[in-house]
Amino acid sequence: MNSNRRKFIKIAGLAALGWSICPPLAGARTSRYKRIEEGLRAERWAMAIDTAKLTQEVMDRAIAACHELHNVPKIENDQNIKWIWVETFYNLIYDQSHPFLQERQLPVLTLCNHCDNPPCVRVCPTKATFSREDGIVLMDFHRCIGCRFCMAGCPYGARSFNYFDPKLFLNEDDMNRDFPARDMGVVEKCEFCAHLLDQGERPACVEAAEGALFFGDVRDPDSEVRQVLRERYSLVRKPKLGTEPQVYYLI
């Protein structure tokens, strides 16, 4: 009896160990994923912002479209959340400005640059923020531990932290059910609408801005983005940092 129980526990222990190391042993099916080929694909997504076309109305529309789509709460203090917002040209590009520049006080849209060499991804201790193959820098809201290292790492101030429970500032009825509302204590930022791209649609701000924002594959010489970059003079923010931003400002 005694030796039987002993044997049973031994085998059970070994089995548990085996299954935990290699689940298929227990007959657990490893799921197979199918690649969905619908949706917009690019080698490297990029955005060009036409600073000349940015009227207050256009910018308001773009911001509203983004923040409504992504359930971004409106918080009226410095613990707020911003995915896309307005800054003066000088504040964005002070390292390439001078006191007599005409555009100095021009209001301009700004958002995450989806850098090719993103410091936020480098510093994240859990890979909760990561670069997709097409260059989009994404957040896993369920893995983020809220250490805010990425916020210190971002040289563009593009990231926001949920100091509050965002649901306190969202109206239950107006919320977009197709995009997750965040928990308290995680970081968030613009995602180039990766979820829309995967469904074959362009980013919400691009649609809302009606021609002031260009979006496309920067590696494709025939893309719209490359076309405007060829025709117009353009800048990126803080190029000397080597982060290789993929949001271009057309002057």
Partner 1 sequence: MLEKAIQGSALYWIWLLVLLAVIGVGFFSYLTQLDQGLSVTGLNRDVSWGFYIAQFTFLVGVAASAVMMVIPKYLHNHKAYARMLILGEFLAVAAVIMCLLFIIADLGQPQRLFNVILYPTPSSILFWDMVVLNGYLFLNIFVGWVTLQAERKRVGPPRWIIPFIYISIPWAISIHTVTAFLYAGLPGRDFWLTAVLAPSFLASAFAAGPALLILLAYVIKIFAKWDPGKEAIQSLAKVVIYAMLAHLFIIACKVFTAAYSMVPDKLEHYKYLYFGLEGHTMLATFSWVAISAGVIAVITLLFPKNRQADNILAFSMILVLMSTWIDKGLGLITAGFIPTPLHHMATYVPTQTELLITLGIWATGFLIITVLYKVGIGVRKEIESG
Q: Which residues bind partner 1 (CB under 8 A)?
A: 77-82, 87, 90-92, 94-95, 119, 122-128, 143-149, 151-157, 160-165, 183-187, 238, 241-243
Q: How far apart are CA 79 and CA 94, in angstroms?
A: 25
Residues 6+ apart with CB under 8 A from 17: none
Nearest distance in Å: CB 38, partner 1: 30
- Of the pair 235, 241, the CB lying nearest partner 1 is at 241
Bridge partner residues of 248 (DSSP): 48
Nearest distance in Å: CB 245, partner 1: 12
Give the phi and the psi of residue 107 in degrees, each rounded to 5: -75, 135
Nearest distance in Å: CB 91, partner 1: 5
- Of the pair 164, 179, the CB lying nearest partner 1 is at 164
Nearest distance in Å: CB 111, partner 1: 13
- Of the pair 146, 179, the CB lying nearest partner 1 is at 146
Nearest distance in Å: CB 209, partner 1: 21
- Of the pair 166, 216, the CB lying nearest partner 1 is at 166
**Counting beta carbons within 10 angstroms of the beta carbon of residue 75, is it exposed (0 to 12), middle (13 to 18) or buried (19 or more)?**
middle
Q: How far apart are CA 14 and CA 8, in angstroms?
A: 10
Nearest distance in Å: CB 46, partner 1: 20
Query: Which letter does DSSP use for residue 46 in this model?
Result: E
**Counting beta carbons within 10 angstroms of the beta carbon of residue 177, is it exposed (0 to 12), middle (13 to 18) or buried (19 or more)?**
exposed
DSSP H helices in the chain? 2-21, 56-69, 89-92, 119-123, 149-153, 194-197, 204-209, 224-231
- Of the pair 232, 238, the CB lying nearest partner 1 is at 238
Q: How far apart are CA 192 and CA 194, in angstroms?
A: 5
- Of the pair 68, 87, the CB lying nearest partner 1 is at 87
